[in-house]
Amino acid sequence: MTSVATIDTDLSTETLIALLTSMLRIRMFEERIVALYPEQEMKCPVHLCIGQEAIASGVCANLEVKDYVFSNHRGHGHAIAKGADFRPLMAEFYGKKTGCSAGKGGSMHIIDLPRGVFGTSAIVGGGIPMGVGAALASSLKRDGRVTIIFFGDGASEEGVFYESFNFAALKKLPVVFVCENNLYATNSPQTARHSTCRIADSAAVFGSHGACIDGNDAVSVYWSAKKAVEKARAGQGPSLIEALTYRWKGHVGPEADHEKGLRPKDELFEWIKRCPIEGFKKQLLDTGLLNEERIADITTSIKVEIDDAIEFAKMSQYPSPEDLLKNVYFTPDGGI
Amino acid sequence: MPWTKIYGNKADFEKAGGAGAGLRGLTYREALHEAASQLLESDQNVFVMGEGVDDGGGVFGSTLNLHKRFGSDRVMDTPLAENALTGIAIGAAASGMRPILVHMRIDFMPLTMDQIINHAAKWSYMFGGAVSVPLTIRSIIGRGWGSAAQHSQSLQSLFANIPGLKVVMPSTPYDAKGLLRASVYDGNPVMFIEHRWLYEHMGHVPIEPYTVPIGKSITRRNGKDVTIAAVSQMVFEAMQAAELLAADGIDCEVIDLRTIRPLDSDAVIESVTKTGALIVADTGWASCGIGAELAARLVERAHGALKAPLKRINFADCPTPASPALEKAYYPDRHTIAAAVRETFELKRSNG
Ligand SMILES: Cc1ncc(C[n+]2csc(CCOP(=O)(O)OP(=O)(O)O)c2C)c(N)n1
Ligand SMILES: [Mg+2]
């Protein structure tokens, strides 16, 4: 596994900059959550993906707006990489009526249908069959969509993953399974849970393509996902991408695990050296594709966008008690 | 209305005048088949999936040969993976399809609880109404013939506990056809629970598509002495009991609840306000069940209405046994209901 991204001359400068921008959007958005969380105004659990940004960004760079993403409790990055607006996301974390889920979901349940973010399940593995179902609908309707399902190494232990993969392979559905193997499920290391640590090999059992890749290298994620997305769109069935990575923060909340004595500090520091953003940025600078000024422009505009989203979220109204019983059932007019 | 009548089988149906002018008789099984067939024909978004929907049995005949007409894409056999298949149906529904997922036995549905309770029931609410899940899940309750503990449960109350789900239990061919269509177009996850013993029941069923409203009960028999609220196959038993009792001069009102969630308790309360007595005949267990819910609502809204204690007719409080001797003790029937009504009627009378 390489620790620093390798700049690929086959990729356009535009794509490389888009990858960097996407990762920075996720990182800066989540760092702001870290900064603001102690105010206790965001009254919901947050599962941060700092350190894992290359996977969401590299995969989603291959998608069209109409394509779908299904995700899990650690879903901010997936939504952002798929193009979700900051305002409704942030407002949701603040429990406001203007949130993407009208204050009913919180950080674990985010959605942006126009951008193809199809909702996130906080039941481990729970979103996997739904993503396959969306792909089944695409295949029945022949609408040319591809569905991406993001899930963790922990979710790969759930029976529903195998049931779903088998069905997707059987029906050759346009879906890509992206397992973000951050080596832990809550505090439990993969070695304590898996008889072998090769999740990607599961694909072969179903006659499908599986690849284990460096999930901190946005470029290798990009190429691997590109191949899988093209296969899916061409009607050649699902692929399983296992992207190795590491989460820098705790399972939930803004602190790092070593601050709570949960995981070794050294381990984190080793992975910080493999930061998906820093190495990539350095190479872009070294090759002259970007300069510091341009990067500053990018980060400034992201900062402005985040500031705006925070202000929007803080200024927004809470839902009213009358909203409590709304949306239990779907009605065409959104009533009770 | 001819189609609100209940006939146990073809012979009873014929005896009562049969199809008659301009009316057609269908079995419950045929009504389900016709509903699915008409839905598949008129709406490309509808598809049927489930274990064995395209095999020679065709889910007790209710999906027989539909795949030949509509293709195996739209009438789809599935792997034995109930939980994933439920999630797959939910995902397809959320992205614009109207799937009908079929389980031969409701006993297989505990494997799907995560997807039904944590996902189907939540997807609209949890995202502030941004998405809906127009999913119909058909399942069948078995009874008798030594089917035992894992092939004869009646799990409707588990689902009825969950906000976000709807639960319907058609008792007649007319309702089977109309409620299936209503479920498919409801826009929400609907647990459509059938009873295997109703499959050969006959009734009048219009040929053209129609819906029966979800959430509305129907009074199958008007009476002044005792109200019997029943569901599914117990509606038939209750009607038979009412006949027996009529001979003794006890006049029963029989309400077929038809939907368990939302539960049409208003109709029951109104009836009890008139009769002063309530028997609830359920196909399942008593604890936290339909009878418990109706009793609670009655006490909440009209606590003075009862002139005799309420009674519940249910399975015995144990798993289903296999031996016919034990089955007899386990399953309630028309005689159980009739005995309960007599007792209630006497108490009501002695209470003035
Ligand atoms: C079915 C289920 N079991 C347990 C949990 C509690 N839980 C929440 S996240 C999590 C760990 C998931 O690990 P993984 O899939 O690797 O994702 P990660 O958090 O590492 O991104 C657990 C056990 C849950 N939400 N759902
Ligand atoms: Mg993990």
Chain B residues in contact with A138 by the CB 8 A cut-off are 95
Q: Is the pLDDT of residue B269 over 80?
A: yes
User: What digits encode the pLDDT tens for the residues B223-237?
Assistant: 999 999 999 999 999
Which pLDDT score is estimated for A4? 46
Q: Is the pLDDT of residue B23 over 90?
A: no
| Ligand 1 atom closest to Cα of residue A186 | 11
**Does B125 contact chain A (CB < 8 Å)?**
yes
Q: What are the φ/ψ torsions at residue B252 (nearest 5 degrees)? A: -95, 145
Euclidean distance between CA atoms B168 and B232, whole angstroms: 9
Distance from CA of A160 to the nearest CA of B (A): 5
Distance from CA of B76 to the nearest CA of A (A): 11
Residue appearing with tokens 């069948």: B140
Which pLDDT score is estimated for B14? 79
| Ligand 1 atom closest to Cα of residue A73 | 9
Q: Hey, which CATH number is domain B218-350, 3.40.50.920, 3.40.50.720, 2.40.10.480, 3.40.190.10?
A: 3.40.50.920
Q: Is the pLDDT of residue B32 over 80?
A: yes
Stretch B216-228: mean pLDDT, rounded? 98
Class of domain A4-323: alpha beta
Stretch A2-26: mean pLDDT, rounded? 82
Stretch A235-247: mean pLDDT, rounded? 98
**pLDDT over 90 percentage in chain A:** 94
Stretch B134-151: mean pLDDT, rounded? 94
Domains of chain B, by residue range, sit at 2-204, 218-350
Q: Which two tokens stand for residue B224?
A: 């002044």
Q: What are the φ/ψ torsions at residue B320 (nearest 5 degrees)? A: -70, 125
**Are domains B2-204 and B218-350 of this chain identical in fold?**
yes
pLDDT-derived band of residue A332, with 50, 70 and 90 as boundaries?
Answer: confident
Stretch A115-137: mean pLDDT, rounded? 97
Q: Hey, which CATH number is domain B2-204, 2.40.110.20, 3.10.105.10, 3.30.380.10, 3.40.50.970?
A: 3.40.50.970
pLDDT-derived band of residue A7, with 50, 70 and 90 as boundaries?
Answer: low
What distance, in Å, lies between the first and last C-alpha atoms of chain A? 53
Longest dimension (CA), chain B: 64
Residues of B (132-191) whose Cβ lies below 8 Å from A:
132-134, 163-164, 166, 187-188
Q: Which of A158, A180, A186, A246 to mutate to test the pocket of ligand 1 (most atoms within 8 A of CB)?
A: A186
Q: Could you tell me where the DSSP H helices lie in B43-171?
A: 66-70, 82-94, 113, 123-126, 156-160
Of A191 and A2, the structure prediction assigns the larger pLDDT to A191
Euclidean distance between CA atoms A51 and A1, whole angstroms: 16
User: What digits encode the pLDDT tens for the residues B109-142?
Assistant: 999 999 999 999 999 999 999 999 999 999 999 9
Euclidean distance between CA atoms B251 and B275, whole angstroms: 10
Which pLDDT score is estimated for B5? 76
Euclidean distance between CA atoms B102 and B110, whole angstroms: 14
Looking at A176-190, A320-334, B246-260, B326-340, which range is the least confident one?
Answer: A320-334
Which pLDDT score is estimated for A334? 53
Question: How many contiguous H segments (helices) and E segments (strands) does chain B have?
Answer: 13, 14
Q: Is the peptide bond before B262 cis (omega within 30 degrees of 0)?
A: yes
Strand-pair category, A209-214 with A239-244 = parallel
pLDDT-derived band of residue B144, with 50, 70 and 90 as boundaries?
Answer: confident
Mutation site, A72, A117, A163, A166, interface B, largest B CB count within 10 A:
A163
**Does A205 contact chain B (CB < 8 Å)?**
no
Give yes or no for a contact between A127 and A121, defined as CB atoms under 8 angstroms apart.
yes
Q: What is the pTM of this model?
A: 0.95
Chain A residues in contact with B259 by the CB 8 A cut-off are none
Query: Nearest residue of B to residue A145 by CA position?
Result: B95
Of B23 and A41, the structure prediction assigns the larger pLDDT to A41
Stretch B167-185: mean pLDDT, rounded? 98
Which pLDDT score is estimated for A114? 96
**Does B118 contact chain A (CB < 8 Å)?**
yes
User: By CB neighbour count within 10 A (0-12 exposed, 13-18 middle, 19+ buried), where does B329 fall?
Assistant: exposed
Chain B residues in contact with A160 by the CB 8 A cut-off are 83-84, 87, 114-115
Which pLDDT score is estimated for A336? 46
Residues of A (95-114) whose Cβ lies below 8 Å from B:
99-105, 109, 111, 113
Q: How many CB atoms are closer than 10 A to CB A296? A: 10
Domains of chain A, by residue range, sit at 4-323
Which pLDDT score is estimated for B11? 79
Which pLDDT score is estimated for B21? 64
Q: Is the pLDDT of residue B278 over 70?
A: yes
User: What digits encode the pLDDT tens for the residues A48-75?
Assistant: 999 999 999 999 999 999 999 999 999 9
Euclidean distance between CA atoms A187 and A257, whole angstroms: 9
Give yes or no for a contact between A199 and A242, defined as CB atoms under 8 angstroms apart.
yes
Euclidean distance between CA atoms A97 and A79, whole angstroms: 19
Q: Which of B253, B260, B11 is nearest to B141 (CA)?
A: B260
